[in-house]
Structure 1
Amino acid sequence: MSEGYQIRNQSAPHFLTFTVVDWVDVFTRKSCRDIVIESLKFCQKNKGMEIYGYVIMSNHIHMIIQSNDGNLSNLIKDFKSFVAKQILEEIESGGESRADWMLKRFEFAAQSNSRNSKYQFWRYGNHPEEVSSEKFLWTKLNYIHMNPVRAGIVNKASDYLYSSAANYVGGEGLIEFELPSNPIIDVLRKERFNFEIDEW
């Protein structure tokens, strides 16, 4: 974790980015995206994870989460470790046509650090930013939800299945969670970001 981006308040919500080593496009596979979704649900139910928003892109994940148990660092470690283990098993099982190439990249990355075993799946560091205000929260949520739009995957953020945009627009997404209250949502979304809610 780079200096200046550390989790100092373990109970506060943080904006985080988890990136696959070498930007390998692991999450183009539905099975790998589903592993992330199921892992988030498990952490919600069993590890005190509070979710405010997320998006799964082809090679990275953005999310805003909080630890109800007051130990966000351990929660992140457990989540990333489990997801990496499950996805590596999925790749090794033979369902991935690029398996040899991917595993060689992960193996090569692991050689650069003694903390690794055979493979390194995630890049080190999560670039954590503490959510210290409502304005910051909604700025980051808009950034998260617009990722697939900026990438040209969808025209409306809520059309992207593997993000929380649909939770905020229609109330239904792959993961259920309680939405944060926001009395100035219209001002932030319509004036600051210059797009209407129904364009999501």
Structure 2
Amino acid sequence: MSEKYKVIDSTVPTFITITVVDWVDVFTRPIYCSILDESLNYCIKEKGLSVHAYVYMTNHIHLIVTAPEGELQNVVRDFKKFTSKKIIAAIKEQPESRREWLLRKFSYAAEVRGRAKNYKLWQDGFHPVILDTLEKIEQRINYIHYNPVTAEIVFHPRDYVNSSYRNYEEDNANLCNVNIEVLW
């Protein structure tokens, strides 16, 4: 991994993107998004992660995070490993019209990349970008919150459920499913 993509200081807000292999649209079902919510909240409570902004798109997630109590790359690694297992289990157990296709896709990714036993849900890495100025933080928060608008999923970011946008509006604190710490 090049120096450009390493987390140098886990206490500085960092923009990360975690992408599903082959850009497969997994997060079109609420059950899979709930797994992300629960996992992020666990990392917040038990691993010292601070989530400042987030959005779950259909095939990737964007986060602005800090990890004052630990190494951010370790928290992200554990998050990806746990959510991968939980989402694969949910695909197998829950009603899913794409079950066979999804499992084949993730099985093939594990086989080809050789980085997982049976299934590989997430692409390697998470492309961290240090946000060391207020301007960079504001730009990335807007990017995260307007991503569903740009993708033409909603007309206004407040209408997108799987985002921290509403927590950044006045009088709407704690309206999202992840316990975030707003940056202003």
Coarse TM-score class (shorter-chain normalised): over 0.9
Shift of 1:74: 0.5
Cα distance in 2 for residues equivalent to 1:156 and 1:10: 32
SS in 1 for 2:176: coil
Cα distance in 2 for residues equivalent to 1:96 and 1:116: 23
Cα distance in 1 for residues equivalent to 2:32 and 2:71: 26
| 2:81 alignment partner in structure 1 | 81
SS in 2 for 1:75: helix
> Does 1:158 find its partner at 2:161?
no
What is the one-letter code of the residue matched to 1:18?
Answer: I
Structure 1 residues 165, 100: CA separation in 2 closer, same or farther (over 3 Å shift)?
Answer: same
| 1:179 alignment partner in structure 2 | 182
Give the number of the structure with larger relative contact order, counting CA–CA contacts within 8 Å between residues 6 or more apart. 2
String of CA shifts for 1:161-196, please: whole Å, max 9, x gaps.
110000001322222333223xxxxxxxxxxxxxxx
Shift of 1:129: 0.3
Structure 1 residues 2, 147: CA separation in 2 closer, same or farther (over 3 Å shift)?
Answer: farther
Tell me if structure 2 keeps the 8 A contact 1:50–1:65: yes
| 2:13 alignment partner in structure 1 | 13
> Which is greater in Rg?
1
| 1:191 alignment partner in structure 2 | none
Q: How many pairs align?
A: 181
**Following TM superposition, where does structure 1 have runs of at least 4 consecutive aligned residues deviating by more than 6 angstroms?**
none
Where does the alignment leave 5 or more consecutive residues of structure 1 unmatched? Answer: 182-200
SS in 1 for 2:66: strand
**Identity %, equivalent residues:** 41
Cα distance in 1 for residues equivalent to 2:72 and 2:39: 15
Q: TM-score, normalised by structure 2?
A: 0.93
Tell me if structure 1 keeps the 8 A contact 2:10–2:68: no
| 1:92 alignment partner in structure 2 | 92
CA RMSD in angstroms comes to 1.4
Cα distance in 1 for residues equivalent to 2:161 and 2:79: 21
Where does the alignment leave 5 or more consecutive residues of structure 2 unmatched? Answer: none
Q: TM-score, normalised by structure 1?
A: 0.86
